[in-house]
A and B are shown apart, each in its own frame.
Chain A
Amino acid sequence: MIGIAAASFLLLLAVVYLIARPYLAPVRYAQEVSLEQLRADRERLRSQLRELDADFETGKLAREEYERLRARRLQQIEAATHAIREVEGLREPAEAPAGAAGEPTATAPTDEELDRELERRIAERKRLLAELEEAACPTCGTPIEPEDRFCRRCGAALATAEVNEG
């Protein structure tokens, strides 16, 4: 009986802990989240690229269409890799000071500054990726395909310049 009561009590504690933990010790999720999301995005793009290759190699995609789509995917992967490297690059100095406690650097940016800068860059990269991935017509908002030059609904000419910036 005591064993049962103790087990019940432990279970109750565990449940309360699981629910309360995010409030008790708020973890800073932002960096992890965006890095993981970017990696997932890149993996997804890579698998699309493989499918594309296989489609072409087995004769299910015309060459010109294949080349256009492939170039597009490579650009997207490159953009994602850039973003990942940036986040990783920013994260490392943020973690380093703990180990290099001996030499306090006045010029080193504070954690907060790093975070803000990081958020800004991530937002930028995400916007770029989002544009690449689920592009919409800037005039009427209709989703457009990567290879489209004109919007199918309103006929507006679709610029691809912003893609090349990445």
Chain B
Amino acid sequence: MVLLGNFALLLALIAAGYAVVVGLVGARSGREETIRSAEGGMKAAALALSVAALALVVLLLRKDFRVEYVAQYTSRDLSTFYTVGAFWAGQAGSLLLWAWSLSLVGAGVLFTNRARNRDLMPWVTVTIGVVLAFFTALVTLYSNPFRTLPVPPADGQGLNPLLQNYGQWVHPIALYLGFVGFTVPFAFAVAALVTGRLGDRWIRSVRRWTLWAWVLLTAGILFGARWAYVELGWGGYWAWDPVENASLLPWLIGTAYLHSVVVQEKRGMLRVWNVALAIGAFTLSIFGTFLTRSGIISSVHAFAESSIGVPLIAFTVATIVLGTGLIVWRLPELRSPNRIVAVVSRESSFVLTNLLFVAMTLVVLWGTIYPIITEAIRGVELSVGQPFFNTLMAPLAVVTVALVGVCPLLAWRRVSGRHLRRNLTVPVAVGAGVFVVLTVLNRGRHLLIIGVLALGALVLATLTSEIARGLQVRRHHHGESWPRALVNLFAFTPRRYGGPVIHAGVVIMLAAIAVNVGLKVERQAQLAVGESLSVAGTRVTFSDLTFEQTPSKFALIGHFQVTGRDGEPLGTIRAEQAEYTGQQRVTEVGMRSTLAADLYVVMSDVDPSKRVATVLVFREPAVFWIWTGMVVIVLGGVLAAWPWRTDRPGRTGPELELPSSFEEPFEEPEVAR
């Protein structure tokens, strides 16, 4: 199996290299056979990497401890579910997953474009081929999962207990696929730049790929936030940890890209922006891999450290240099003759969106690499605290949310003030109403949070009216029932109405985060069994301490009674401190969730003989709504990216109202006569 794995990796490397070299030859000569053969190389690499991945799975399942990777990340008692999940627990396997999924995406792109975009495909093949060859080389030469040990151990070291969570099957995979997916718009942007086909065809061709990449990256990040909250026991979901930032950077630029391309499709503008954003999103996902994998920064994701930093940073720099070079070379053709007609228009609001996202990217980027730079220059490692990010990102996020509320109401080119006033009246009234009511209820406290909530209500009102108007139009113009109109709204114009759903989710999530950050309460105390502490009116009593011994772990379990303001019982919470054999000590968070707030209990430093423990209790308001917002975001993304079949016969008819000549039989083709 080890032999087969190594052989498959080698073949994949050769095949990817072949795709690059022959793809270049084909692009120059334009010979169809040569180009197809290069594409065959890419497909062959996908096949070989699939075999390599399968070989690793077999080795893991067999618990073949002769293989270093298997010995490092599995053990005899590890369940099958997590044994397969150990595939991407370490660097070598993660890189193999990267390369494998990229090869599958590449093969998928070649398949869907087998009979279209033929002018772009040689360069798409070459670009994806270069990235694939690079990652396959990393797996084969630097970080090979099939490396064997001279003396196989009797048992493996086992999987990090923090990774023994079903999240191991969601979070890393979604993130990797998201990162990998951004290679597709990158490859098409490069192809468009090289060939000079700078219209919107490349953008439309990669729209679905990009949307899915975005959805997966978003889901990966959000799921990671939730996983951190549930598992890590510090009562938060986002800490501006460098590795979190590494995933946020390509997300921010990718999000800007998704917005910006709309303007090129509608008005042929922002072409420089779009190629730059496509290249930027890809570069940042490589840079993110560098940040995570190079060990240059310390982070909670410390298990990811290693020494493939040099090739990764070299690749990042090469991408930036080549991308910038291509854009500069094509700059004269990229300039659009169209200018923004009015300061207040849909176009200008999209430009503002781009600027906001780029500003957020720069804030996150600077905060992330500042410690590295100071360490390099002054030899001191300074860390940039959460206040830096929070103070800069919060206002930018609020402005972005406000823009979400106004932008859908603006018309292309020029806005009529009367139209805008009419559309804004109801949302503004809703926002103002929410503000007044909440201010009165809170007697003037928490004005900042209430402001954010009121803005959120305003934006939600805009989005709702936007969808309602779309539904009404469908009902009036096409005579559809409400449910039919709802389905068709998404089926015929998925992005137009998937967008508002995503935006609604973002607003819900950000408003809930504002409430959570503003009103979170934290208490810590050393409690003996029988003692209690009080958090925001709720009393948490340490009622009992018990033990649990299983083959893989030894756990101390704290039982906590929760009582309300008037002493009414609200249930029990169970928090754990567990020691896994041969692994570090971990705490299992105990939680009681309601729509209004979570009660979050962490027990540590347990002294079983004195029956004393350090107990940390958080009252986390609105956390449920953060998760709700996340679900809505992902749902909206899926709605927008879903391959709705609108070309089915019978469904396009009334939509298009084609000229009557379409129904006439066409004259016989000349040649047949």
A55 to B466, CA, bound (A): 11
A90 CB contact (under 8 Å) in B47, B265, B656, B669:
B669
A18 to B411, CA, bound (A): 51
Q: When the two chains form their complex, are residues A117 and B37 in contact, meaning their CB atoms are under 8 A apart?
A: no
In the complex, how many angstroms separate the beta carbon of B291 from the nearest chain A beta carbon? 34
Task: Identify the closest chain A residue to B266 (Cβ).
Answer: A51
- A11 and B18 contact, Cβ closer than 8 Å, known pairs A19-B37, A36-B116: no
Q: When the two chains form their complex, are residues B659 and A74 in contact, meaning their CB atoms are under 8 A apart?
A: yes
| CB-defined contacts of A113 to chain B, threshold 8 Å | 671
A89 CB contact (under 8 Å) in B410, B492, B666:
B666
Q: Can you name 28 A-B pairs with beta carbons within 8 Å?
A: A8-B7, A11-B11, A14-B44, A14-B47, A21-B40, A33-B116, A49-B656, A51-B266, A53-B655, A54-B470, A55-B412, A58-B466, A59-B423, A61-B411, A61-B412, A74-B659, A77-B658, A85-B666, A86-B669, A90-B672, A93-B671, A93-B672, A117-B671, A118-B671, A142-B337, A143-B337, A145-B337, A152-B338
In the complex, how many angstroms separate the beta carbon of A98 from the nearest chain B beta carbon? 16
Q: What is the interface residue range for chain B against chain A?
A: 35 or more
| CB-defined contacts of B496 to chain A, threshold 8 Å | 51, 54
A78 to B662, CA, bound (A): 7
A53 to B561, CA, bound (A): 60
A59 CB contact (under 8 Å) in B3, B419, B661:
B419
Task: Identify the closest chain B residue to A7 (Cβ).
Answer: B4
Q: 1/0 per position for A129-148, CB-CB distance to B under 8 A? A: 00001100000001111000
A68 to B340, CA, bound (A): 20
Is B557 part of the binding interface, using a Cβ–Cβ cutoff of 8 Å? no
Q: When the two chains form their complex, are residues B493 and A58 in contact, meaning their CB atoms are under 8 A apart?
A: no
| CB-defined contacts of B34 to chain A, threshold 8 Å | 22
In the complex, how many angstroms separate the beta carbon of A87 from the nearest chain B beta carbon? 9
Q: When the two chains form their complex, are residues B3 and A4 in contact, meaning their CB atoms are under 8 A apart?
A: yes
A8 to B88, CA, bound (A): 24
A19 CB contact (under 8 Å) in B15, B201, B265:
B15
Is B473 part of the binding interface, using a Cβ–Cβ cutoff of 8 Å? yes
Is B117 part of the binding interface, using a Cβ–Cβ cutoff of 8 Å? yes
In the complex, how many angstroms separate the beta carbon of A105 from the nearest chain B beta carbon? 11
Q: When the two chains form their complex, are residues B337 and A78 in contact, meaning their CB atoms are under 8 A apart?
A: no
- A15 and B44 contact, Cβ closer than 8 Å, known pairs A90-B669, A153-B337: yes
Is A26 part of the binding interface, using a Cβ–Cβ cutoff of 8 Å? yes
Is B115 part of the binding interface, using a Cβ–Cβ cutoff of 8 Å? yes
Is A67 part of the binding interface, using a Cβ–Cβ cutoff of 8 Å? no
B268 CB contact (under 8 Å) in A55, A65, A143:
A143
| Chain A binding surface SS class | helix
CB-CB contacts below 8 Å: B27-58 with A? 32-34, 36-37, 40-41, 43-44, 47-48, 51
- A15 and B671 contact, Cβ closer than 8 Å, known pairs A20-B37, A85-B666: no
| CB-defined contacts of B266 to chain A, threshold 8 Å | 51
Q: When the two chains form their complex, are residues A18 and B44 in contact, meaning their CB atoms are under 8 A apart?
A: yes
Q: When the two chains form their complex, are residues A78 and B661 in contact, meaning their CB atoms are under 8 A apart?
A: yes
A124 to B649, CA, bound (A): 28
Is B446 part of the binding interface, using a Cβ–Cβ cutoff of 8 Å? no
A46 CB contact (under 8 Å) in B37, B338, B652:
B652
Apart from A81-B662, A117-B670: 15 A-B pairs, beta carbons within 8 A: A18-B15, A18-B47, A21-B36, A22-B36, A23-B37, A26-B32, A29-B32, A36-B116, A40-B116, A50-B492, A54-B470, A54-B493, A55-B412, A60-B412, A74-B659
What is the interface size of chain A, counting residues whose CB is below 8 A from a CB of the partner?
62
Is B445 part of the binding interface, using a Cβ–Cβ cutoff of 8 Å? no
**Interface pairs A-B: 10 shortest CB-CB:** A36-B115, A22-B36, A15-B44, A18-B40, A18-B44, A57-B473, A60-B411, A89-B669, A117-B671, A134-B199
Q: When the two chains form their complex, are residues B40 and A20 in contact, meaning their CB atoms are under 8 A apart?
A: yes
In the complex, how many angstroms separate the beta carbon of A95 from the nearest chain B beta carbon? 13
| CB-defined contacts of A100 to chain B, threshold 8 Å | none
A29 to B114, CA, bound (A): 9
Is B1 part of the binding interface, using a Cβ–Cβ cutoff of 8 Å? yes
A8 to B55, CA, bound (A): 11
- A33 and B118 contact, Cβ closer than 8 Å, known pairs A19-B44, A61-B411, A78-B662: yes
A106 to B493, CA, bound (A): 52
| CB-defined contacts of B658 to chain A, threshold 8 Å | 74, 77-78, 81
Is B204 part of the binding interface, using a Cβ–Cβ cutoff of 8 Å? yes
A37 CB contact (under 8 Å) in B36, B116, B669:
B116
Task: Identify the closest chain A residue to B262 (Cβ).
Answer: A51
Q: When the two chains form their complex, are residues A143 and B672 in contact, meaning their CB atoms are under 8 A apart?
A: no
| CB-defined contacts of A77 to chain B, threshold 8 Å | 656, 658
| CB-defined contacts of A7 to chain B, threshold 8 Å | 4, 51
| CB-defined contacts of B92 to chain A, threshold 8 Å | none
A15 to B492, CA, bound (A): 41
Q: 1/0 per position for B310-351, CB-CB distance to A under 8 A? A: 000000000000000000000000001110000000100000
A113 to B662, CA, bound (A): 28
| CB-defined contacts of A26 to chain B, threshold 8 Å | 32-33
Is B566 part of the binding interface, using a Cβ–Cβ cutoff of 8 Å? no
| CB-defined contacts of A90 to chain B, threshold 8 Å | 669, 671-672
A53 to B477, CA, bound (A): 11
Q: When the two chains form their complex, are residues A19 and B18 in contact, meaning their CB atoms are under 8 A apart?
A: yes
In the complex, how many angstroms separate the beta carbon of A82 from the nearest chain B beta carbon? 8
- A22 and B37 contact, Cβ closer than 8 Å, known pairs A77-B656, A89-B666, A117-B671: yes
Of B34, B37, B268, B669, the most chain A CB neighbours within 10 A belong to B669
| CB-defined contacts of B477 to chain A, threshold 8 Å | 57
Is B301 part of the binding interface, using a Cβ–Cβ cutoff of 8 Å? no
Is A109 part of the binding interface, using a Cβ–Cβ cutoff of 8 Å? yes
A73 to B293, CA, bound (A): 49
Is A12 part of the binding interface, using a Cβ–Cβ cutoff of 8 Å? yes
A7 to B11, CA, bound (A): 13
Q: When the two chains form their complex, are residues B40 and A19 in contact, meaning their CB atoms are under 8 A apart?
A: yes
Is B548 part of the binding interface, using a Cβ–Cβ cutoff of 8 Å? no
Task: Identify the closest chain A residue to B50 (Cβ).
Answer: A11
Q: When the two chains form their complex, are residues A54 and B115 in contact, meaning their CB atoms are under 8 A apart?
A: no
A97 to B496, CA, bound (A): 48
A144 to B204, CA, bound (A): 19
Is B8 part of the binding interface, using a Cβ–Cβ cutoff of 8 Å? yes
Q: When the two chains form their complex, are residues B659 and A78 in contact, meaning their CB atoms are under 8 A apart?
A: yes
Is B647 part of the binding interface, using a Cβ–Cβ cutoff of 8 Å? yes
| CB-defined contacts of B411 to chain A, threshold 8 Å | 59-62
Q: When the two chains form their complex, are residues B116 and A46 in contact, meaning their CB atoms are under 8 A apart?
A: no
In the complex, how many angstroms separate the beta carbon of A43 from the nearest chain B beta carbon? 6
A162 to B161, CA, bound (A): 70
- A11 and B8 contact, Cβ closer than 8 Å, known pairs A19-B40, A58-B473: yes
Task: Identify the closest chain B residue to A73 (Cβ).
Answer: B656
Task: Identify the closest chain B residue to A11 (Cβ).
Answer: B51
Q: When the two chains form their complex, are residues B655 and A50 in contact, meaning their CB atoms are under 8 A apart?
A: yes
Of A53, A58, A89, A90, the most chain B CB neighbours within 10 A belong to A58
Is A44 part of the binding interface, using a Cβ–Cβ cutoff of 8 Å? yes
- A58 and B32 contact, Cβ closer than 8 Å, known pairs A32-B115, A78-B659, A133-B199: no
Q: When the two chains form their complex, are residues A58 and B199 in contact, meaning their CB atoms are under 8 A apart?
A: no
Q: When the two chains form their complex, are residues A11 and B473 in contact, meaning their CB atoms are under 8 A apart?
A: no
A60 to B469, CA, bound (A): 12
Q: When the two chains form their complex, are residues B115 and A33 in contact, meaning their CB atoms are under 8 A apart?
A: yes
Q: When the two chains form their complex, are residues B15 and A15 in contact, meaning their CB atoms are under 8 A apart?
A: yes
A58 to B423, CA, bound (A): 11
